[in-house]
Amino acid sequence: MIKQVSMAVLFLATGFGAGAQAIDSTYDNNHYKERVALFAKMPKQKSAIVFLGNSITEAGKWNDILPGLPVQNRGISGDNSFGVIARLPEIVAQKPAKIFLLIGVNDLKREVPVPVIINNYKRIAGIIKQGSPKTKVYLQSVLPVNDTILIEAFKKVTNANVALLNNALEQIAKDNRYGYINLHEAFADSKGQLLRKETPDGLHLKVSSYPQWVQLLRSKKCL
């Protein structure tokens, strides 16, 4: 069973400015609950390749792009690092062969401090190592945004914070002997912005962009 978080915020006493700071750690909205319920009813797969994340992962037609492979799309639109931690034990219990994780932009949207997101990634690493130590894990860099066309709801996401988070993710990957996939190689322009031709709104990828993502994973010999 996934332990649902009923509180609206998580309070931190120190470390991020003066006094306590309220952090929005909610995740269990209706879409989240519906997706988790769907996942629970799906057949178990041996040696599954799990794509885990938020709407950017959910939108991927992974089974079509990777025919013949035991791929599981475990993306949930709107999910954040807290939501991944909550549902991760059920994923890990199936002992997947690989997990490709991309999470964090919705945390940044809510102005969750980067150190808190980093700590959540470390918790995620611990859960996987304890529950399925043979699973190969790939931490994928959070995509840049294109702030010239970025939708209003994500205006608080900055490429400066994305860079801070990604630098930490690369180190977490090294510390845990995980793979690190720098998606910027495929999707950032010379100014570090998400390529205009690859995004409809400055944040998400076009559906036609996902084969390029898979091509990058293949070039890194991850698939």
> 204 near 161, Cβ under 8 Å?
no
Confidence of residue 13 (pLDDT cuts 50, 70, 90): very low
The string of pLDDT tens digits covering residues 51-97 is 999 999 999 999 999 999 999 999 999 999 999 999 999 999 999 99
- Sign of the dihedral defined by the CA atoms of residues 108, 114, 115, 119, in that order: positive
Higher pLDDT, 5 or 128: 128
The string of pLDDT tens digits covering residues 160-211 is 999 999 999 999 999 999 999 999 999 999 999 999 999 999 999 999 999 9
Q: What integer pLDDT is reported at residue 22 of this predicted model?
A: 85
Could you tell me the domains of the chain?
9-219 (3.40.50.1110)
Q: What integer pLDDT is reported at residue 6 of this predicted model?
A: 36
Max CA separation in the chain (angstroms): 53
Q: What is the mean pLDDT of the chain?
A: 92
Neighbouring residues of 91: CB distance < 8 A, sequence distance ≥ 6: 50, 52, 74, 99
- Which range among 14-23, 121-130, 137-146 shows the weakest confidence by mean pLDDT? 14-23
Confidence of residue 19 (pLDDT cuts 50, 70, 90): low
- Region 12-17: mean pLDDT is 45
Pairing relationship of beta strands 136-140 and 179-181 according to DSSP bridges: parallel
